[in-house]
Amino acid sequence: MKDGSTSRRCSCRNPATGTAFGVKCPKLSNRRHGTWSVLQELEPRQDGTRRRYRRSGFSSATDAGEELAKVRALMAIPDKDDPAGQLAVNDLLEECSRTKAPLPDYDETRRRFLVGETLNSRITVGEWLDEWLEGRKRLRPTGLKRYGVDIRIHLKPHLGDIRLDKLRVGHITKMFDSINEANIEIAEQNAQRKAALEELKAIPWKGVENRARRKWLKAAIDRMPPFRRITGLNTPAPHQGNAPGRAERRHRPAADAELQPRRARRAAARDQAKGSDLDRGTDRPLAGHGREALARHGLDAGAHRHLPRPR
């Protein structure tokens, strides 16, 4: 670690040239003239470029010295043989110098470093979400895209500007309330657009008044918001009341005809074919839905074994 330095300078300018005096100002002999600044050389960036911690505006050399001591204490948290830790701490100091934010607390920074948490306690939720998404290297492209949409559409607009250490349950509750309100608004707009399209479809083409009415209605539809998807629309609703469960629907293929028409038709055809075998008196054993066919003919499960063969 290179030694830092403190210096005193002012903003006085040479009246002849208009340039700043800097450390050569003749008034610097007065100890109350000018302000003190801090300069500390940081570890190079990953690409090898040089960087420094600069801060000015201190009223005394004591204040500047205390600031420099804090910087050096933070730089001493990681071990000398820990380049990744040194890089993280120096990145934090560079960010503080760039944004002119106060230095973080030493004890809290050391605790975060030892447990592996993010050193920058002032990171926002949006910045943390970007870092989290970049670290999901093993996600499939579809999953990565889905997470990106959720972050861009819902999380960042509501939570992105909040500091990560200040995030509370109330913020998340407020986000979901806003999503619910937006869902209600989207549903109303979708219903209005659908009603307008149905009304347009019902207006005949013939007649001057009808054509004028269609023209006006088309313009109104163009001004309406487009159809939008409601958040959480694909979430399946639980069974309510006396709705049949999976076990009750297992031997009722026709009951699912609207949801699964192909499977329902195949099951119905299979029942009909097995019922025809029973009517012909065959002794071929029936299983599965064939038992239902036997029951419809008033026979028990083993009665088909005793049916006479046709002659």
What confidence tens digit (pLDDT) does each residue in 195-209 have?
999 999 999 999 999
| Residue of 251 and 273 predicted with greater confidence | 273
Q: Which region among 30-34, 76-80, 88-92 has the lowest average model confidence (pLDDT)?
A: 30-34
Cβ contact 37:6 at 8 Å: yes
Average pLDDT over residues 262-278: 59
Q: What is the pLDDT of residues 29-67, one digit of tens each?
A: 787 788 889 999 999 888 889 999 999 889 888 999 999
Confidence of residue 128 (pLDDT cuts 50, 70, 90): confident
Distance CA 225, CA 186 (A): 9
How would you classify the pairing of strands 52-58 and 35-41? Answer: antiparallel
- The pLDDT of residue 289 is 45
Residue 111 makes CB contacts below 8 A (sequence gap 6+) with 117
- The pLDDT of residue 39 is 92
| Residue of 24 and 220 predicted with greater confidence | 220
> Residue 243 above 60 pLDDT?
no
Cβ contact 127:101 at 8 Å: no
Q: What is the pLDDT of residues 155-176, one digit of tens each?
A: 999 999 998 888 999 999 999 9
Residue 12's Cβ-side half-sphere holds a number of Cα atoms within 13 Å equal to 15
Confidence of residue 10 (pLDDT cuts 50, 70, 90): confident
Cβ contact 71:40 at 8 Å: yes
Percent of the chain with pLDDT over 90: 34
Distance CA 230, CA 210 (A): 34
Helices (H), the chain: 61-75, 83-99, 106-115, 125-134, 141-150, 156-159, 169-202, 208-223, 246-249, 261-279, 290-296
Buried (b) or exposed (e) across 2-40, using 16+ Cβ within 10 A? eebebebbbebeeeeeeeebeeebeebeeeeebbbbbbb
Q: What is the pLDDT of residues 130-160, one digit of tens each?
A: 988 888 888 899 999 999 999 999 999 999 9
Find which of 59-63, 241-245, 273-277 is predicted with most confidence, using mean pLDDT: 59-63
Round the average pLDDT of the chain to a whole number and report it.
78
> Residue 79 above 60 pLDDT?
yes
> Residue 281 above 60 pLDDT?
no
> Residue 27 above 70 pLDDT?
yes
Q: Is 169 helix (H, G, I), strand (E, B) or coil?
A: helix
Cβ contact 1:76 at 8 Å: yes
Average pLDDT over residues 66-87: 91
Q: Which region among 86-90, 163-167, 273-277 has the lowest average model confidence (pLDDT)?
A: 273-277
Cβ contact 167:125 at 8 Å: yes
Average pLDDT over residues 8-36: 83
The residues spanned by each domain of the chain are 5-117, 123-167, 176-223, 251-306
- The pLDDT of residue 268 is 65
- Output the 3-class SS for 212-256: HHHHHHHHHHHHCCCCCCCCCCCCCCCCCCCCCCHHHHCCCHHHH
Distance CA 286, CA 98 (A): 81
> Residue 239 above 50 pLDDT?
no
Average pLDDT over residues 78-102: 89
- The pLDDT of residue 183 is 92
68 CB-contact burial (10 Å; exposed 0-12 / middle 13-18 / buried 19+): buried
